[in-house]
């Protein structure tokens, strides 16, 4: 409209009808920055269900789409289709092609996605669901090799998490979040399940894993805890076979490796520099 030979391209004033003002603001920001921030406030305040399918596709296909979880994208797509189901259900596969189903939890895929009537009624959508389930069944290097546009995480909004820590003999359980782009601190994240310092931290598929460390009684830990940003929830994972503090943690092919610990550094014994792997 604005770059072609249509009259609007040369007009000083253009009247846009039947589009929500907030939705238009989000679209304009996306055009200029290639980023869009999806929050409960702007989803409720705007009327995204009035957007044409081309605009919805352009939004959800962007790797810069800032969402807490891919589940939010799916729910937005389903809401858009259900707003005018009779005419929009035929384009559901066009939309679902841009939803990263493999990055959702198996529980959500089985309980929500698989049971969704719109998904059941469309062959292409069934293929996307099968792809997601297959991705979850793969392990280690197989999962790293299995690449489709939907298995690649979107570029997340970059934040820094500060988890636990200590001051003298006092150990903390607080979790602070620094938004790099927003240049501000957030302190509303769920409190860590226990007080912990000197731990290792790794991120896999958007989940934050806290490994080992020291508790409030200054005891070395073998426990592992996972944080799910989409639910703001901490859950326990299988423990390491060895207690470790001041350890090194890294990720390779979706596997977490815990390397060394404080005791090994103090004693400088190479046989203590063991490596544990967490799937």
pLDDT in tens, 3-57: 556 666 667 777 766 666 666 666 666 666 555 565 545 554 556 788 899 989 9
Q: Is the pLDDT of residue 271 over 80?
A: no
Query: In angstroms, what is the C-alpha Rg of the chain?
Result: 23
pTM > 0.75: yes or no: no
Q: Do the first three CATH levels of 7-145 and 159-278 match, i.e. the same topology?
A: no
- Into which CATH architecture does domain 159-278 fall? 6 Propeller (2.120)
| DSSP code, position 119 | H
Domain range annotation of the chain? 7-145, 159-278
Determine contact, residues 14/8, Cβ cutoff 8 Å.
Answer: yes
Are 77 and 60 a contacting pair, CB within 8 Å? yes
Residue 91, token pair as written in the block: 């384009």
**CA–CA dist 191, 227 (Å, integer):** 10
Q: 7-145: which CATH number, 1.25.40.20, 1.25.40.420, 2.40.240.20, 3.40.50.1100?
A: 1.25.40.420
Residue 15: alpha-carbon gap to chain centroid: 38
Using the predicted structure, report yes or no on whether residue 175 has a pLDDT greater than 60: yes
pLDDT at 137 over 60: yes
């Amino acid at each position: 409209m604005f770059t072609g030979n249509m009259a609007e391209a040369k007009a000083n004033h253009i009247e846009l009808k039947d589009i929500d003002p907030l939705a238009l603001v989000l679209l304009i920001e996306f055009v200029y920055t290639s980023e869009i921030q999806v929050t409960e406030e702007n989803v409720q305040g705007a009327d995204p269900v009035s957007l044409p399918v081309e605009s919805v596709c352009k939004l959800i296909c962007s790797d810069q789409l800032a969402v807490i979880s891919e589940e939010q994208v799916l729910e937005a797509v389903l809401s858009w289709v259900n707003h005018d189901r009779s005419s929009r259900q035929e384009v559901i596969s066009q939309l679902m092609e841009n939803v990263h189903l493999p990055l959702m939890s198996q529980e959500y895929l089985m309980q929500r996605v698989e049971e969704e009537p719109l998904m059941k009624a469309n062959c292409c959508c069934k293929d996307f669901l099968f792809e997601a389930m297959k991705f979850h069944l793969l392990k280690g290097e197989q999962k790293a090799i299995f690449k489709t546009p939907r298995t690649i995480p979107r570029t997340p909004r970059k934040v820094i998490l500060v988890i636990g820590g200590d001051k003298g003999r006092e150990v903390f359980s607080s979790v602070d979040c620094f938004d790099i782009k927003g240049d501000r601190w957030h302190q509303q994240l769920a409190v860590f399940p226990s007080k912990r310092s000197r731990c290792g931290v790794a991120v896999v598929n958007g989940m934050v894993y806290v490994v080992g460390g020291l508790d409030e009684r200054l005891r070395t830990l073998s426990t592992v805890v996972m944080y799910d940003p989409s639910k703001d929830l901490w859950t326990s994972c299988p423990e390491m076979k060895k207690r470790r503090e001041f350890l090194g943690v890294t990720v390779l092919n979706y596997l977490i490796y815990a390397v060394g610990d404080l005791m090994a550094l103090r004693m400088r014994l190479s046989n203590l520099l063991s490596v544990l792997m967490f799937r």
